Chains A and B, each alone.
Chain A
Amino acid sequence: MLILAILAVSLAMTILAAARPWRPWIGWTSAASSAAIVALGIALSATTLSAPQWALHHSLRADSLSAFMVVVIGTVSLLATLFTPRTMHQEISTGVTTPRYARHYVVLMQVFITCMLVAVLTANLGVLWVSIEATTIATTFLVSHRRTDGAFEASWKYVILCSVGIALAFLGTVLIYYAELHSVGSVHSSSLDWTSVMSVAHHLDPNVTRLAFALLVVGYGTKVGLVPMHSWLPDAHSQAPAPVSALMSGVLLSVAFYGLLRFRAVAVAALGPAFPRALLLVVGVASLLLATIMLIAQRDLKRMLAYSSIEHMGLLAIGAAVGTPLAIAAVLLHILGHGITKAVLFLSSGEIYHLEGTTDMAKITGLLARRPTLAGVFGFALLSLVALPPFSLFVSELSMARAEVDAGLWWAVAISLVCVSVIFAALTRHARGMLMGAAVDETPPAATPASVALPLIGALVACAAIGVVAWPLQSLLTHAAHAVAP
């Protein structure tokens, strides 16, 4: 019931946005629908603690992992959609967009959110692929929304690279199906259903599964933003409108990562832990190193946030490589913390761009003196991003490091620690230039509207609260981790 309700709310909002011309109330309704999805997601989490839920003749399935992902998608969507009315008003009044394109924007945002919800709620690994690919099509138009040369180039690069990547993931999925058809314990009706794949996973042919998992890591890894197919990410995130960047960085990357978590469980059952671990460690460490190098000399605010996403996805891949229940629970907590924090950062940097007219960090100075609230939010969000306590990323990074030590991966902990420290130094240096420094002009400090400040401050408080008292999430996270790490 709850599964159908979640998809119905999202679908109804999509139809409403398509049926009516753009008005600010449509934006507020879409925020309300995201809030409803968060509430339904929490209710679903509670029911999945006892047993997985099914709907629509077993074509939809939710275990604790799916329910947790619904909560993450809902929360970040709520933040992003709360900014829809404001972003559209700003863009229409400055002539960047027209009411017609504002309508397209809201419809595409809703399609995007619905596709991600289907991806985490489907029982079928093939439908998972279809819905992740469908997000590519919706987001391509969202990236090119501003219709500038840069936006077109970014969306072109995005759609070409992600289509190629996701084609590899399809081949990987097909190979898993082929291995399932010819496995020893294969039952009468083989299908790509999660439960039936997992029931024969121990008997899958190792040669085929090895190739399939490698294709899946590169394929879904493209959408996650992992090296070697990451190069679309900084362009797309820097050219898209701020709420779109918030959604893409905050949840789209994690939804693709959710696909990897599922297939990792299949690969571990078929091949043992060594091969999946080696592969995920290689892409994870490579992504982390690349992000560190690119962050040191970064000049553009939004590209800085984009490379930081690559950094965090690298950390997630290393955590998933360990693969113990503790590591996966930490990975999931990290997904939530990163989603909220990155959404706050992209949304506040959208405000900064609106005020300053640039995202060149060298040209932005003295924000704290001129816009104390906005600069404060941005500063605290950055502290959360570099994983300082009390924010939840501190807890999740610490737990991941502990799990890595337990697994004997000392060198991975050492590399992560060095990279995270270098990034800490780089980000605080960049932020100091923007926040401190003399104000260029002598304008008096201006207030930030409550509609901007309140959601962002609320999200940061939530992040800190989760970091201090993780107990409400503890049982859900452990339960969700056991779904893919038995």
Chain B
Amino acid sequence: MNSTYVATLELAAGAVLLTAVMTLWRRAVRSIVSMLSLQGMALATVAIVLGLHEHENALLVTGGLVLAVKGIVVPTLLRRVSSLDPRSRESRPLVNVPASLVFAAALIVLAYVVGTRITSLSPSSATHLAPLGLATVLVGYFMLVTRRRAVSKIVGLILVDNGIALMTFLLTSGVPLIVELGSSLDVLLVVVVLQFLMVSMRHHSDTDRLTEMKALHD
């Protein structure tokens, strides 16, 4: 029982980071969104496995919520945005794909260096995996900084959020439900806001020009 629990937890948490790195590797928005969907499902698995192991119903509820929001709703919204966009590829990343992957490897090492200082407070099979969450957060930041397209920036934001959610589950076995609910709904709202902005911008002028954020300056 216990070894199955640890193995499933390791597999699911590893899948979250793996899908994050895959989003850096893929260029077509459609496959990036599929990766995000997989990531949401892996995240939900982590919550549900932890909930079953610790007999915490709140975590099971959270897991169901994560599965619905991050596994299904948010990817569907993103797919709809990218179908509006004829050129759905990240055409000009500031750092090219092979270099991005090397950077990602460095970020994972960094996450482990910082992460062990946190996990040493309460070593357990769950907290040992927390650096995977930190690594996902860092990969998300890297995506936000180096990708120019609007959709890629939203993907980066979601990666940051999923990484934080993974750390939350592994370190605390879930914060109080209301906070968890707030943060999950929050991602949904932010994606809706961004989608709305992209659509209204499209009615006005060139979205890419606006999301590159170059017109307003001193």
Contact = CB atoms under 8 A, between A and B. Distances in A.
A434 B216 CA distance: 23
Contact of A182 (B114, B122, B183, B186): B122
B118 A137 contact: no
A177 B175 contact: yes
Given A149-B215, A171-B164, A156 B210 contact: yes
Given A133-B186, A155-B197, A156-B197, A127 B121 contact: no
B218 A298 contact: yes
Contacts of B193: 137, 140-141, 159
A170 B186 CA distance: 11
A126 B184 CA distance: 13
A164 B141 CA distance: 8
A148 B200 CA distance: 10
Contacts of A133: 182, 186
A205 B121 contact: yes
Which of B122, B186, B194, B200 has the most chain A CB atoms inside 10 A of its CB? Answer: B186
Contacts of B167: 171, 174
Contact of A137 (B157, B168, B189, B218): B189
B3 interface: no
Interface in A91-149: 124, 126-127, 129-130, 133-134, 137, 140-141, 144, 147-149
A422 interface: no
Interface in B152-175: 153, 157, 160-161, 164, 167-168, 171-172, 175
Nearest to B137: A171
Given A192-B175, A205-B121, A211-B118, A164 B216 contact: no
Contact of B182 (A127, A149, A208): A127
Contacts of A178: 118, 121-122, 171-172
Interface residues of A, number: 50
Given A126-B179, A167-B160, A208-B118, A153 B190 contact: no
Contact of B171 (A148, A160, A174, A235): A174
A407 B87 CA distance: 59
Given A137-B190, A174-B171, A175-B118, A156 B211 contact: yes
Contacts of B121: 178-179, 182, 205, 207-208
B210 to A, nearest CB: 5
Nearest to A159: B193
A428 interface: no
A126 B200 contact: no
A238 B217 CA distance: 11
A164 B144 contact: yes
Contacts of B117: 207-208, 211
Interface residues of B, number: 41
B179 A130 contact: yes
B197 A144 contact: yes
A159 B192 CA distance: 11
A170 B157 CA distance: 14
B138 to A, nearest CB: 12
Nearest to A211: B118
Given A149-B204, A177-B175, A207 B216 contact: no
B157 A160 contact: yes
A144 B117 CA distance: 42
Given A171-B167, A298-B218, 19 more contacts: A124-B179, A130-B183, A152-B210, A153-B210, A156-B194, A156-B197, A156-B211, A159-B197, A167-B161, A171-B164, A173-B179, A175-B118, A177-B175, A178-B122, A179-B121, A181-B172, A182-B122, A207-B117, A235-B216
Interface of B: 114, 117-118, 120-122, 137, 141, 144, 150, 153, 157, 160-161, 164, 167-168, 171-172, 175-176, 178-179, 182-183, 186, 189-190, 193-194, 197, 200-201, 204-205, 210-211, 213, 215-216, 218
28 contacts: A124-B176, A124-B178, A127-B178, A134-B186, A140-B193, A149-B215, A150-B215, A150-B216, A152-B197, A152-B200, A152-B201, A152-B210, A153-B211, A156-B210, A157-B213, A159-B194, A163-B190, A164-B157, A167-B157, A170-B183, A171-B137, A173-B175, A174-B167, A177-B175, A178-B121, A179-B121, A208-B117, A234-B216
Question: Which 10 residue pairs spanning A and B have beta carbons closest together?
Answer: A126-B179, A130-B182, A235-B216, A178-B171, A153-B210, A182-B122, A174-B168, A205-B121, A152-B201, A171-B164
